[in-house]
C-alpha cells in the first residue's frame, strides 16, 4: 500500500485532485466582488501551485528523468489561464482561454475523459466572465467556442495517433491480448474446423503473421523519419540449404512488393551479421551496393544496414535504401538502431508466446514424456526393480522415440562422447523398430557430427545422395546411402550426457528450424531424466560404500557374494578370505583414533590395489575386511592371502615421525570344498581367522587348519 501511494505521489495525483476543489472555492469567493482580497489571495495560490508544479518538472528533468510527469504542470497552467480570464476583462473578451483550453483537452485526453473536463471548464469560465450580453449569452458564446475548439483538438489527435508509435504499441497490446485466447477457446462459426485440429504449425503460422504485421507497421513508421525510399527487415531463410536472406519491405513507391530477398553474400547484410555493426554508405559508392539492378530502381544514393539483436545474437538486419539526392542525416543510424531494438524485443516476445503455446499443444505427448522421465527412478507397478544402466536406456529410448515421431525422421541416432567429440558411440538408435545402442567407438574426425559436438552448434543439411556434404555428416560406419536430409543437434550438460542427436530422412529438405526446436525441447527433458539417473547412481554408490575406507560395505559385499556363488553353483572354485588387523585396539589406545582411521584407510588402499580383476574386497566391520577370490582353489587362495599379508607388513605407517608396525591375520574357506553357501563359507573363514589369532597372529590359515 505504501509503495502504491508513493507511486501515485510520484505521478502527481495530489496535484490533479486539488485542482477541482480549488476552482470551486475560487468561484464561491468571487461573490460578485472580483477585486476583493479573498479572490486575489486565492488567485495567488493558483499561481503558486503552478510555480511548484513547474519546479517539480524541472527538478525531475535535472535528476535524469527523461520523461517526467507533465500532467500537474498542464493542469495548473490551465487553472492559472482560467484565473486570468476571470480577473481581467480584456482577456475575457478575447475568448482565447476557453478556445485554447478546450483544444488542448480534446487533443491531450481520450474523449471519455476530455468531454467532462471541457464541459466543466466551459461552465466555470461562463460563470466567471463579466455578463456584458447576459447570462445566457455568455454560456452560449463560450459553449459554442468550446465545442468547436474541442472538436478541432479531437480531430488532430486522431490524425496524429494513426501515425504515432504509441498507437502502434497500443495495437500490439490489443493483438497480444487477443493472442492469449488459445486456438481451442476461440469461438467457431458453423462449418469451421474442429478445435482439435489446432496444431503446432497453425500456431506458429499465426505467430509469424502477427510478427510480420508488427514489423511491417514499424517499417512504415520508419520510412518518413529516415528519408529512405525503401526500408526492409531481413532474416536468414528458414528453407534448408538456402543461402538467402528473406524479409519484409516497406516502400514509398506504389505497387512495390511486400516481400524482399537478397543473397547472403550481399555486403551490407554480411557486414551487419558477421561484424555485428551498422553499415552506412552514401554518394556514388552506394550504387555498388544497390540491392536491385533494373530500371529506375537503380538510382541508389544511400545504403544503411543495422543488425537486429535477440539475446545477444544477430536475429536479422534492418536495411534502408535512399534514392533521393543528399546523404543520410546524422540521426538516421541511431534512429534505425532504436527501431531495431524494438523489433528484437518484439521477436523475443512472439517467440516466448509461441513457446508457451507449443508446450500447451504438446500436452498429449510432451507431458507424458516428462512424467516418464520423473518415474525413471523406480520400477513401475508390477515390474521388477531395474538396474541403473537399464534406467539410463529407458531414458534414451523414450527421448529418441519421441524425436523420431515428432520430427518425422526415418532414423534417429543418439551419439555419445567422452572426449569432446573426437570419438563417439551410438547410445541409442531407432528406425521405427525396437532400438538399441552400440558401445563400439568410432572416430568422428572431420565429420559434421563431431563438429556439432565440439562447437555446440546445430546444423540442418539437405543434399542429393552421394554429395560430399552428405558423405561427411556421419562416420562411414553409421551412414546409409538413401539418406538425403540431416538434422544435427548438440546435447551437452555439466556432468551429464554429452553428444548429439542426429535425425535423418530419405527426402530432400525434410527438416527446418521448427523441427530443431522440437529436438531441443525433447533433449532438455532427456537431460532431466539422465540427471535423475545420475543422482540415483550417486545415492546407490553412497549406500553401497563404506564412508571411511571407500570399499564396498558389508551388506553390499554379502549380497554380491551370494549372487556370485549362486551363479557358480559349485562348478568352479572360489575362496572367501576374512582379514583382521592385529592389535588394532592397542593402536587406537596408544596413538589415538585419528591414526587408527588412517591405518584402516591405508590397509584398504593396499587391498584394493592388490586384488585381481574379478576379485572383490570390502570392509566387514571395525578392523575386519573380507575378500572374494575368483577361480581360486585352496593353494591359490593361500598364495594370494600371503601376498596381501606381506604387503601390509611392508607398508610404513608413520605417527609423529615414528614408524608403527602393523600386521594382519587371515582366514580362508574355499568352495566347493567347505560349502557353496555364503553363510557356510563366512563361518568357516571366520573360524580359520580365529586359529590364526591363536597361533600368534600375522599369519594365514586355511580351514580346517
**Predicted pLDDT at 122:** 74
**Predicted pLDDT at 186:** 37
Q: Which CATH class is domain 207-352?
A: alpha beta
Q: Can you give the residue ranges of every domain in the chain?
A: 2-161, 207-352, 398-527, 554-702
pLDDT tens digits, residue range 37-50?
Answer: 566 666 677 677 76
Is residue 464 classed exposed, middle or buried when 0-12, 13-18 and 19+ CB atoms within 10 A define those classes?
Answer: exposed
- Would you tell me how many other CB atoms lie within 10 Å of the CB of residue 167? 15
pLDDT tens digits, residue range 345-394?
Answer: 888 887 777 666 666 666 566 667 777 777 665 544 444 445 667 888 88
CB 168 within 8 A of CB 217: yes
CATH of 554-702, one of 3.40.50.150, 3.40.950.10, 3.40.50.300, 3.30.70.270: 3.30.70.270
Mean pLDDT is lowest, of 54-63, 108-117, 135-144, 247-256, for: 54-63
Q: Which residues contact 611 (CB under 8 A, 6 or more apart)?
A: 617, 627, 629
Mean pLDDT is lowest, of 88-92, 318-322, 619-623, for: 88-92
695 pLDDT band, cuts 50/70/90, is very high
**Predicted pLDDT at 371:** 73
Distance CA 230, CA 92 (A): 52
Q: Which CATH class is domain 398-527?
A: alpha beta
Q: Report CA-CA distances (Å) from 228 to 318, 322, 329, 622.
A: 12, 4, 11, 87
Mean pLDDT is lowest, of 112-121, 402-411, 542-551, for: 112-121
Coil, strand or helix at 511: coil
Q: What share of the chain is helix, strand, coil (3-state, %, to 5)?
A: 55, 20, 30
Q: In CATH terms, are 207-352 and 398-527 the same topology?
A: yes
Distance CA 230, CA 115 (A): 41
52 alpha carbon, distance to own chain's centre:
48
Q: Which residue has the higher pLDDT, 356 or 328?
A: 328
> Which of 87, 27, 80 minimizes the C-alpha distance to 53?
80
Q: Which residues contact 237 (CB under 8 A, 6 or more apart)?
A: 243, 244, 245, 246, 261
Q: Which three cell numbers stand for residue 504?
A: 535423418
Q: Which residue has the cell 473578451?
A: 93
Amino acid at each position: 500500500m505504501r509503495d502504491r501511494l508513493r507511486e501515485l505521489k510520484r505521478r502527481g495525483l495530489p496535484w490533479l485532485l486539488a485542482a477541482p476543489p480549488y476552482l470551486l472555492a475560487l468561484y464561491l469567493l468571487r461573490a460578485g466582488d472580483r477585486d476583493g482580497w479573498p479572490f486575489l489571495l486565492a488567485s495567488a495560490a493558483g499561481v503558486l501551485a503552478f510555480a511548484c508544479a513547474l519546479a517539480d518538472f524541472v527538478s525531475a528533468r535535472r535528476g535524469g528523468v527523461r520523461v517526467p510527469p507533465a500532467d500537474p504542470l498542464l493542469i495548473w497552467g490551465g487553472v492559472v489561464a482560467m484565473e486570468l480570464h476571470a480577473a481581467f476583462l480584456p482577456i475575457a473578451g478575447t475568448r482565447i482561454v476557453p478556445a485554447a483550453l478546450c483544444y488542448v483537452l480534446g487533443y491531450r485526453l481520450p474523449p471519455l475523459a476530455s468531454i467532462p473536463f471541457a464541459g466543466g471548464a466551459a461552465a466555470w469560465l461562463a460563470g466567471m466572465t463579466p455578463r456584458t450580453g447576459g447570462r445566457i449569452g455568455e454560456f452560449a458564446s463560450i459553449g459554442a467556442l468550446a465545442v468547436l475548439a474541442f472538436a478541432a483538438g479531437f480531430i488532430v489527435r486522431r490524425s496524429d495517433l494513426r501515425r504515432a508509435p504509441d498507437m502502434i504499441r497500443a495495437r500490439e497490446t490489443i493483438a497480444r491480448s487477443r493472442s492469449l485466447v488459445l486456438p481451442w477457446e476461440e469461438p467457431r462459426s458453423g462449418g469451421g474446423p474442429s478445435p482439435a485440429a489446432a496444431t503446432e504449425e497453425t500456431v506458429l503460422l499465426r505467430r509469424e503473421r502477427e510478427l510480420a504485421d508488427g514489423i511491417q507497421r514499424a517499417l512504415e513508421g520508419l520510412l518518413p523519419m529516415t528519408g529512405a525510399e525503401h526500408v526492409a527487415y531481413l532474416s536468414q531463410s528458414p528453407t534448408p540449404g538456402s543461402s538467402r536472406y528473406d524479409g519484409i519491405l516497406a516502400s514509398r513507391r506504389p505497387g512495390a512488393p511486400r516481400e524482399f530477398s537478397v543473397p547472403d553474400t550481399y555486403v551490407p547484410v554480411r557486414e551487419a551479421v558477421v561484424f555485428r555493426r551498422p553499415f552506412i554508405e552514401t554518394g556514388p559508392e552506394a550504387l555498388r551496393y544497390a540491392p536491385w539492378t533494373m530500371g529506375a530502381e537503380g538510382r541508389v544514393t544511400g545504403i544503411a544496414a543495422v543488425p537486429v539483436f535477440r539475446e545477444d545474437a544477430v536475429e536479422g538486419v534492418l536495411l534502408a535504401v535512399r534514392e533521393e539526392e543528399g546523404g543520410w542525416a546524422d540521426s538516421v543510424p541511431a534512429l534505425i538502431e532504436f527501431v531495431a531494438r524494438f523489433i528484437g524485443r518484439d521477436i523475443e516476445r512472439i517467440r516466448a508466446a509461441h513457446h508457451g503455446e507449443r508446450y500447451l499443444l504438446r500436452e498429449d505427448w510432451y507431458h507424458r514424456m516428462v512424467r516418464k522421465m520423473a518415474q525413471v527412478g523406480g520400477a513401475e507397478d508390477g515390474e521388477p526393480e531395474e538396474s541403473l544402466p537399464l534406467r539410463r536406456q529407458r531414458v534414451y529410448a523414450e527421448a529418441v522415440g519421441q524425436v523420431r515421431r515428432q520430427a518425422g525422421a526415418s532414423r534417429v541416432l543418439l551419439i555419445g562422447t567422452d572426449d569432446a567429440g573426437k570419438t563417439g558411440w551410438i547410445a541409442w538408435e531407432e528406425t521405427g523398430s525396437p532400438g538399441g545402442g552400440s558401445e563400439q567407438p568410432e572416430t568422428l574426425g572431420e565429420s559434421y557430427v563431431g563438429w556439432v559436438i565440439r562447437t555446440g552448434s546445430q546444423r540442418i543439411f539437405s543434399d542429393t545422395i552421394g554429395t560430399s556434404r552428405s558423405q561427411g555428416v556421419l562416420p562411414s560406419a553409421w551412414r546409409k546411402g538413401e539418406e538425403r536430409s540431416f538434422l544435427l543437434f548438440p546435447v551437452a550438460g555439466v556432468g551429464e550426457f554429452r553428444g548429439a542427436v542426429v535425425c535423418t530422412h530419405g527426402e530432400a529438405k525434410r527438416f527446418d528450424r521448427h523441427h530443431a526446436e522440437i529436438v531441443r525441447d525433447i533433449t532438455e527433458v532427456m537431460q532431466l531424466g539422465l540427471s535423475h539417473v545420475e543422482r540415483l547412481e550417486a545415492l546407490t554408490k553412497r549406500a553401497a560404500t563404506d564412508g571411511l575406507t571407500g570399499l564396498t560395505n558389508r551388506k553390499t559385499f554379502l549380497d554380491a557374494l551370494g549372487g556370485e556363488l549362486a551363479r557358480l553353483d559349485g562348478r568352479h572354485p572360489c575362496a572367501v578370505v576374512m582379514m583382521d588387523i592385529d592389535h588394532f585396539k592397542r593402536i587406537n589406545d596408544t596413538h589415538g583414533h585419528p591414526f587408527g582411521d588412517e591405518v584402516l584407510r591405508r590397509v584398504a588402499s593396499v587391498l584394493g590395489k592388490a586384488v585381481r580383476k574379478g576379485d572383490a574386497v570390502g570392509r566387514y566391520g571395525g578392523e575386519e575386511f573380507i575378500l572374494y577370490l575368483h577361480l581360486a582353489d585352496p593353494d591359490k587362495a593361500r598364495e594370494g592371502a600371503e601376498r596381501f599379508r606381506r604387503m601390509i607388513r611392508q607398508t610404513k605407517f608413520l605417527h609423529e615421525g615414528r614408524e608403527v608396525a602393523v600386521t594382519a591375520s587371515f582366514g580362508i574357506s574355499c568352495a566347493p570344498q567347505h560349502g557353496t553357501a555364503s553363510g557356510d563359507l563366512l563361518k568357516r573363514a571366520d573360524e580359520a581367522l580365529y586359529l590364526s589369532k591363536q597361533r600368534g597372529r600375522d599369519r594365514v590359515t586355511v580351514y580346517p587348519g
